[in-house]
Amino acid sequence: MSNKASLSSLYAITAKHLSAGSACPPTRKGVIRCYTNKYCPFAQRAHLILAVKQVQHEFVLVNLKSKPEWLFEKNPLGKVPVLELDGQLLNESLMVCDCLEEMFPDPPLYPSNPWSRAKDRMLAQQWSKGSFALHKIFFSQGDEKVMAAAVEEIQQSLDIYEEELVKRNTAFFGGDKPGMLDYMIWPWAERFQPAKLLLGEEGILPPSRYPALTRWMERMMEDPAVLATYLSPEEHTKFYTTFDSNILVKKSVL
């Protein structure tokens, strides 16, 4: 059995995203549940950590355009991911992943040095703040000025991570294998690929400007947890072009 198959078998994602008016499936004692959305990069962070640690769990997919009423009982902000275990609830992707790291310490995803660990957390948090510019590209309706401004915003952030990876002189931010910072960044890096359909071949991550990050992406695509949670550029594009036809990119360019 391949790594992708064995990791994917740990969680059964149903095809249906539950929406407003639906009932929340009953929980099972002692079983970790993740409320999530297949296309949400923040939720994908939790998917990655659950996969790399091979945690037995279950998913409940929720529709983020027509949110089920009970989602707000799980998280008053109505966001995913939400982790639930025996009535205990936790939200915010970084907090969810840190909790999973403490509950399931093998394999360890943070450096043992407190200073290095704190720096990785800082860089993960900074990435979250700059990541929203990526959605401006998909939701630009093909406006070249909007896309250009969004790319510049993203690349100003990427410069920091390129420099950091060069400074570390390692294959991954985590060293010779991916660590927590690698997995916290990956969901947006995965979405750089469908962005090329709008921006041209160089896209957001031209190899001439980001040689270290380009090699990092290639290595990440060989990681079993990444492969287990990966969505193709075609799947991402289909989601963005059908989510809301009034605000998304013109379908004629896809």
Determine which one of 34, 40, 97, 99 is catalytic: 40
Quote the DSSP letter at residue 38: T
* Strands lying side by side in the sheet with 57-61: 57-61, 32-36, 82-85, 88-91
Domains and CATH numbers, the chain: 3-103 (3.40.30.10), 114-253 (1.20.1050.10)
Q: Are 213 and 158 in contact (CB under 8 A)?
A: yes
Cβ-based burial of 16 (10 A; exposed 0-12, middle 13-18, buried ≥19): exposed
Q: Which residue type, as a one-letter code, is found at position 183?
A: Y
Q: Where does the chain show beta strands of DSSP type E?
A: 32-36, 57-61, 82-85, 88-91
For residue 186, which of 161, 153, 167 has the smallest C-alpha distance? 161
For residue 79, which of 62, 57, 94, 101 has the smallest C-alpha distance? 62
User: pLDDT tens per residue, the chain (254 residues)?
Assistant: 233 333 443 455 456 899 999 999 999 999 999 999 999 999 999 999 999 999 999 999 999 999 999 999 999 999 999 999 999 999 999 999 999 999 999 999 999 999 999 999 999 999 876 678 888 888 877 788 888 899 999 999 999 999 999 999 999 999 999 999 999 999 999 999 888 877 877 789 999 999 999 999 999 999 999 999 999 988 988 888 776 544 344 333 33
Q: What is the pLDDT of residue 18?
A: 94
Q: What is the pLDDT of residue 237?
A: 83
d(CA 218, CA 231): 15
Whether 24 is catalytic is no
Quote the DSSP letter at residue 18: B
d(CA 96, CA 89): 10
Task: Kindly report the pTM of this predicted structure.
Answer: 0.90
d(CA 177, CA 199): 31
Cβ-based burial of 143 (10 A; exposed 0-12, middle 13-18, buried ≥19): middle
